[in-house]
Amino acid sequence: MSNFDINKIRADFPIFQNNKLLVYLDSAATTQKPKQVIDAVSDFYSNYNANVHRGIYELSMKATEAYHSARQKVADFINAPDWRSIVFTGGTTESINLVAYSWARKNLIKGDEILITEMEHHSNIVPWQLVAEEIGANLKYIPINTDGTLYIKNLDELINHKTKLVSVIHQSNVFGTVNPIKNIINQAKQVGAITVIDAAQSVPHDIVDVQDLDCDFLAFSGHKMLGPTGIGVLYGKTELLESMTPFMGGGDMINSVTMTESTWNDIPYKFEAGTPNIAQAIGLGAAIDYINEIGLINIHDFVKHLLNIALEKLRTMDGLTIYGHQVGKSSSVISFNLEGVHPHDLAQFLDQDGIAVRAGHHCAQPIMDKLSVSSTIRASFYLYNTEEEIDKLCASLKKTASFFSNL
Ligand SMILES: Cc1ncc(COP(=O)(O)O)c(C=O)c1O
């Protein structure tokens, strides 16, 4: 981990200079931003703000160039063979909805099956419920085990000749489980089903190679990988994107418009109606540069190291139930509950010690149902967290547990 200097990294994040006591353990919700990203966005607005693809003047050409360069950086980051595969969206949610509208609604018919898992974030459930209801397709689920893994023993039954689309979360935002998506993609391909990967939690943490996975679509969000909010990515195989109709109509996505009909621009512009999120895309490009500079593998190994330390310490605490992390591969998030303390109360007590964690259902209510809980606490880690912060979390948890046991 030669490039990994935690003090230097923390110094890059103004939020920690401006909130000296902050222990930020909610990066799975959104990450903090290094000054390199903030500066890139500010530089755009201060020095070359203009609309893209439109102006035949220097500023607009500069903005267009920077916007395009961000797209190329994204393509390289996930090893997409062609920048035209990269559609900029508002986030993972919009990316998945784009596939649901532009591919699923056009290609599925009554009786077809859509397969997802019980581990999904709501953004990979609700769009398919809407499609299934509209078309008369059937939404099926790969079940989960209570240890936070997928039950895939009968995958060959679940993926059958009726299955037309399989959409799976890569890394769980609740358990941290890293799912065997390559197996699932391979199985889906055998029946000719289209595959969609929700990579919102995996792309920030590990190498995701779309050519190696050979998935058809893959979605992720810039704000979970040091980039700005309001920018996300849909990767799609070019031949699929080319075959699809637009998601939204408006400027930039057309070739020609008459009073009676329109023709579409080339991919990826066909799916980017209106003025895109230019500053945010440039910010995402800067985030990718930052991650590359440190090394994604280094980040992965460091976060894994923190995760293991946190697990080890939390496991020794009385009354604490940790969900997942028993078998298989997992990363970056730990969900848990403390006996006798409601997660929302616990989060408030932790907040009093400056510790920011998420409490709730994490937009994954089917998981909560499976675990028979209404909510959990979730601590999530990224490259700027420290072992001392884990100690602070444990100390605050112990203090809270003792407060409640003395009531
Ligand atoms: C696994 C997963 N999928 C999808 C999303 C939705 O991402 P966004 O809100 O950026 O669209 C999240 C966000 O928490 C997530 O963790």
Backbone angles phi, psi at 89, to 5 degrees: -130, -170
Pocket probe for ligand 1: among 93, 122, 197, 231, the residue whose CB has the most ligand atoms within 8 Å is 93
Cβ < 6 A, ligand 1 pocket = 91-93, 121, 123, 169, 173, 198, 200-201, 221, 232
C-alpha 171 to ligand 1 mean position (Å) = 11
Closest Cα partner for 217 from 405, 109, 87? Answer: 87
User: Which residue's alpha carbon is at the smallest distance from atom 14 of ligand 1?
Assistant: 29
C-alpha 378 to ligand 1 mean position (Å) = 15
C-alpha 70 to ligand 1 mean position (Å) = 21
d(CA 68, CA 60): 12
Pocket probe for ligand 1: among 116, 221, 234, the residue whose CB has the most ligand atoms within 8 Å is 221
What local confidence, expressed as pLDDT, does residue 1 receive?
A: 57
What local confidence, expressed as pLDDT, does residue 2 receive?
A: 59
Single-letter amino acid code for the residue at 165: L
Atom of ligand 1 nearest to the CA of 91: 11
C-alpha 222 to ligand 1 mean position (Å) = 10
pTM over 0.85: yes
Pocket probe for ligand 1: among 30, 92, 117, the residue whose CB has the most ligand atoms within 8 Å is 92
User: Which residue's alpha carbon is at the smallest distance from atom 15 of ligand 1?
Assistant: 200
Residue pLDDT tens, the chain, 407 long = 556 899 999 999 999 999 999 999 999 999 999 999 999 999 999 999 999 987 789 999 999 999 999 999 999 999 999 999 999 999 999 999 999 999 999 999 999 999 999 999 999 999 999 999 999 999 999 999 989 999 999 999 999 999 999 999 999 999 999 999 999 999 999 999 999 999 999 999 999 999 999 999 999 999 999 999 999 999 999 999 999 999 999 988 889 999 999 999 999 999 999 999 999 999 999 999 999 999 999 999 999 999 999 999 999 999 999 999 888 888 999 999 999 999 999 999 999 999 999 999 999 999 999 999 999 999 999 999 999 999 999 999 999 999 998 88
C-alpha 29 to ligand 1 mean position (Å) = 8
Report the b/e string of 307-326 with b at 16+ CB within 10 A.
Answer: beebbeebeeeeebebbbbe
C-alpha 89 to ligand 1 mean position (Å) = 13
Catalytically active residues, by annotation: 363
Pocket probe for ligand 1: among 363, 365, 367, 382, the residue whose CB has the most ligand atoms within 8 Å is 363
C-alpha 180 to ligand 1 mean position (Å) = 19
User: Which residue's alpha carbon is at the smallest distance from atom 12 of ligand 1?
Assistant: 200
H-state helical runs in 25-150: 35-43, 58-77, 92-99, 105-107, 126-135
User: Which residue's alpha carbon is at the smallest distance from atom 13 of ligand 1?
Assistant: 29
Atom of ligand 1 nearest to the CA of 232: 10
What local confidence, expressed as pLDDT, does residue 327 receive?
A: 83
CA dihedral 15, 378, 294, 5 (to 10 degrees): 70
Helices H / strands E in the chain, number of each:
16, 15
Question: What secondary structure letter does DSSP report for 266?
Answer: P
For residues 267 and 275, the answer to whether their CB atoms sit within 8 Å is no
